[in-house]
Structure 1
Amino acid sequence: MAFDELLQHVGDSGRFQIWNIVLCILLNIMSRSHMFVENFSAAIPAHRCYVQLLDSPIPETNVTLNMTAEVLLRVSIPMDSNHKPEQCRRFRQTQWQLLDANVSATNMTELETEPCLDGWIYDQSVFKSTIITEWDLVCDFRLMKSLSQAIYMTGLLMSVFTGIVSDSGNVESARWLIATGKTERALKELRKVAWINGKKDIAESLTIEILRSTMKEEEEPVRKHFTAMEIILNPLIRRTVFFFIILSFSTTLILVGLLLNLESLGTNLFLNQVLLGVVDFPVRVLSYFVIRHVNRRPSIMVSLFLSGSPMLVNLFVPREMSMVRLLLGMLAKASISTLFILCIVFQSEISATTLR
């Protein structure tokens, strides 16, 4: 009895497999939520310097009582190139002369400014509070957010490396246990699968002799067992592992860079998050046909190209064209999702059982 027949015998699509799929889905939901919650918990709302004249609960003079917030803002904070209040600078002195329509733009650029010495005022129309507003991680301190993301990315990429090495050398499936001669352990696992799938009689009938006959029919040498040192020293295995490390690194870098920078795709973070998630559903269907009808290397090459090129194009698309930027982001996300599936299948196909 070959292993595929043995697997069908104990059940290859029963409760055991369903529970494994459900568990993987739940773990992915929790890990992805933790991974990308920073888009919202660390969102950077619109902000400007705190100005005593405008933001103090007690007006400085009676003159300001009859002035609108827009007027007070104009004399307190300079405007940027988009004619919006500067986010990190304010006038050192109140510039009442700016209320005069005859004041030229040249004169305005010569006015003395200073950093936000008294803190910032944040727009609370979308987010009442984020870690950015709590700790004032804006302007000169904005790099602290990037630093935290860089630290997180380092840990994530290390997990990709260790995960691939682990997957390549120590995944204890029943097939792997049989191929490496661990028949007693394989018997225990197969009995557990049959028991969970409701095939108790089959679980009781499985014996060491059946597994040994399976070992003889396996195409791969059953006595060959790769140790960690053999994996490192074997040139073919080393090249295979190195290839998938580079491929996984590239894919993860594009994906995390895209999903941790949703604000670059448009002003509505919630819509961006939903659309980038919804695009995965048709991609899963498309991936099935790609796997069945397209060679691995061309499909991976095209997926890589379509993952990175939209992000490069987005560098030259103005932020005002938010719909174009979002569509390019969705194309990149769809390509990355396809690439992940192709990589998993390709790695299994080119790796021997004892290596997997």
Structure 2
Amino acid sequence: MNFDEVLSKIGGFGKFQKLLYVWICVPQIFLAFHMLVSVFTGAVPPHLCRSTLPSAGTPSTLNFSLLSSPDGLPELSCTKALNHSDAAAPGDGHLTMSCQEGWEYSTETFQSTIVTEWNLVCSNASLNNLGSSIYMSGLLVGALLFGYLADKYGRRIIILISLAIQATFGVAAAFAPNFYIYTALRFMVGTSISGVIMNAFVLGTEWTGLRQRMLAGIITDYFFGFGYIILAGVAYLIRDWRKLQLAISAPGFLFFIYIWVLPKSARWLMANDRNEEAWEVILKAAEMNGKPISKDLEMCQVYQTEDKTALKKKHSLFDLVRTPTMRKQSLIVFYLWFVNVLVYYGLSLNISDFGMNIYLTQMIFGLVEMPARTITLFTLNRSRKFSQLAFLTVGGSACLLTTCIPSDLSIVRTVLAMIGKFGITASLSIIYVYSAEVFPTVIRQNGIGIGSMCARIGGVLAPMMYLLRNINPHAPMVLSGLCPLLGAGLTLMLPETANKPLPDTIKDVEGEILSDEEDSVKTAILDLRNVTMDSHRTD
């Protein structure tokens, strides 16, 4: 009897599992806070070079509408006039020089952001995007580090450590004396996000029965969406970036109660020869689910025997690209991971570009997550392939269409961006399931691990993508449209996996190719045998 059979006896999704999902879903709300708070803390309010302003001007009385030129590019925000009136615009033909006396910022929307405090505008504007990319690189480091440590020391302890890091460094970021220390602290928060996301999902999955795993995985996504929406309200009420950073981080210390309520993974304990501990937790789960069982240690030994037998044959990362069909499918899946996360965070972190109220846009984008994740529950059972292709096409096409809409039609642009976000969010939910079914059992964990790394690379590049605005204002959205459409085309080359048995070996994936090779070998053997028999007859 393996662990899945044990789960079927004690209940695959009983009271024990439901309570466990409460514990692992609540932190998802705070993960969304930390992932998306830079939309508000790193926002760039309208600003004017002090030298271009009347001496009597104050932030509350200044006319920040002077900022925009006919083509929508800032003119008075980064330069000052050297002759004629102080308010003369560079476009009038006056000599100009860079602003050296600081800036005045509009306080209509934000009391303060990291941009207004450390003047991350004009020549320093790229530092803001770089800071977001460094934060995202923390997720990549955390995925590599905490994934390895969780396999070695267990899911529960790594979740606890990650939650502690998140709260400690998140609060410290609210008191950062300069941008560079702030970025370093946010990097540490990023590493902890990966530690919580990965291991909370794995812990829940390892305790959930086969039939409920897909639904249980979607539940955690819903709570991330709730955090997305709630953040809009919290940021609306708290307009100072330091207070906002403190408000989303300090409650993290309440998770210290997880030391007593968060269970260990019995599956992991069994796989590491800690059978006594595993059965203590299993018996507790069985009792809570109302299905008590006797303590039969022989079941643990059988599980371990099967587990060690399965591990005898080792496979490496090279097996992902060694054979032609496996190589084609692996590269396509890796690209889909990359492009989904690139566009998802590209849209999520740059909602101010669509021209509507930033708080309302944040809430709308959060609300879109709910139907996007729900609809996949109905489409996935029909077709993994068509679902992935359709949602990538919807997301990419909507993003491309935003470039055709004039900037003064902000509502239309936001609606199109919302449709793009809907498609990409649904596509991102599907790739988790689809990739697990494309890779065969012997290299499934390696495949998903590399796919996750590609996703993190997409997250790192997402904030930097908007530096392309310096080349062309529409460049980021063009890229956000073309990349998913390319992914939709590549999806046509993937197999359909819905309602089909999972491949266990690379030979299952290669199918006809290996069969043809085997037929060729058999034909050669038969030809050799016939030649031999003919020679014997001749003799």
Name the TM tier (shorter chain).
0.7 to 0.9
1-structure distance, mates of 2:68, 2:289: 76
> 1:207-245 CA deviation, whole Å, 9 max, x = no partner?
1333566789x8xx8712178x62324347985765543
CA distance in 1: counterparts of 2:351 and 2:409, whole angstroms: 14
Letter in 2 for 1:152: Y
Aligned 8 A contact 1:296 1:346 in 2: yes
- Aligned equivalent of 2:70, options 81, 98, 113: 81
Kept after mapping to 2: 8 A contact 1:304/1:335: yes
- Which is richer in helix? 2
1:330-349 maps to which residues of 2 (within 5 A)?
Answer: 330-349=418-437
Distance 1:44 1:205, change over 3 A: same
| Separation in 2, partners of 1:97, 1:202 | 78
Letter in 2 for 1:22: V
Contact 2:368–2:418, Cα closer than 8 Å, also in 1: yes
Q: Which residue of 1 aligns with 2:49?
A: 49
Displacement of 1:119 in angstroms is 1.2
Bigger drift between 315-324 and 194-203 goes to 194-203
**Max radius of gyration: which structure?**
1
- Output the CA distance in 1 between the equivalents of 2:137 and 2:67: 39
* Offset of residue 44 of structure 1: 0.6
Pair 182,39 (structure 1): closer, same or farther in 2 beyond 3 Å: closer
Show the counterpart of 1:230: 315
Query: 1:291 and 1:225, CA in 2 relative to 1: closer, same or farther beyond 3 A?
Result: same
Count of equivalent residues: 331
Check conservation: 1:164, 1:241, Cα contact below 8 A.
no
Alignment-derived partner of residue 354 in structure 2: 265
State which of 318, 325, 344 in structure 1 corresponds to 2:413. 325
| TM-score normalized with structure 1 length | 0.74
The 1:323/1:205 distance shift into structure 2, 3 A limit, reads: same
Aligned amino acid, residue 224 of structure 1: A
CA apart distance, 1:275: 0.6
Segments of structure 1 that go 5 or more residues without pairing to the other structure are 59-67, 99-104
For the residue of structure 2 that corresponds to 1:54, the secondary structure is coil
2:370 counterpart (281, 284, 287):
281
Aligned to 1:120: 103
3-state DSSP of counterpart to 1:114: strand
* Residue aligned with 2:278, SS: helix
Number of the residue aligned with 2:134? 151
Q: Secondary structure at the residue paired with 1:93?
A: coil
* Aligned mates of 1:249, 1:197 — CA distance in 2: 40
Shift of 1:321: 1.8
Kindly tell me: are residues 129 and 334 of structure 1, through their superposed partners in 2, closer, same or farther at Cα, counting changes over 3 Å? same
SS, match of residue 273 in structure 1: helix
Question: Which residue of the partner structure matches residue 82 of structure 2?
Answer: 92
CA separation of 1:202 and 1:242: change in aligned 2, threshold 3 A: farther
Most deviating of 45-54 and 197-206: 197-206
Question: Is the 8 Å Cα contact of residues 10 and 291 (structure 2) preserved in structure 1?
Answer: yes
C-alpha distance after superposition, 1:222-279 (max 9, x if no partner) = 712178x623243479857655433222211111111111111223110111011111
Change (3 A) 1:194 1:252: farther
Match in the other structure for 1:195: 284
Once the two structures are TM-superposed, the CA of residue 143 in structure 1 deviates from its matched residue by 1.3
Pick closer, same or farther for the CA change 1:310–1:78 going to 2, 3 Å.
Answer: closer
Identity of aligned residues (%): 25
Indicate the SS of the match to 1:90: strand
2:310 maps to a residue whose letter is K
In angstroms, what is the RMSD of aligned CA positions?
Answer: 4.4
Q: Which amino acid aligns with 1:316?
A: C
Structure-to-structure mapping, 1:31-42, within 5 angstroms = 31-42=31-42
Q: Deviations over 1:292-341 (max 9, x none)?
A: 22x11221122222233322332333322211221122112222222232
Distance verdict in 2 for CA 1:162–1:266, change over 3 Å? farther
Inter-CA distance 43–180: structure 2 relative to 1 (3 Å threshold): closer
Q: Give, as a single letter, the amino acid of the residue that structure 2 aligns with 1:230.
A: H
- Which residue of 2 is the match for residue 102 of structure 1? none
Greater CA drift, 264-273 or 307-316: 307-316
TM-score by structure 2 length? 0.51
Report if aligned partners of 1:165, 1:241 keep a CA contact under 8 Å in 2: no
Residue of structure 1 in register with 2:231 after alignment: none
Cα deviation for residue 3 of structure 1 reads 5.4
The alpha-carbon distance between structure 1 residues 283 and 299, as it changes in their structure 2 partners (threshold 3 A), is same
SS at match of 1:320: coil
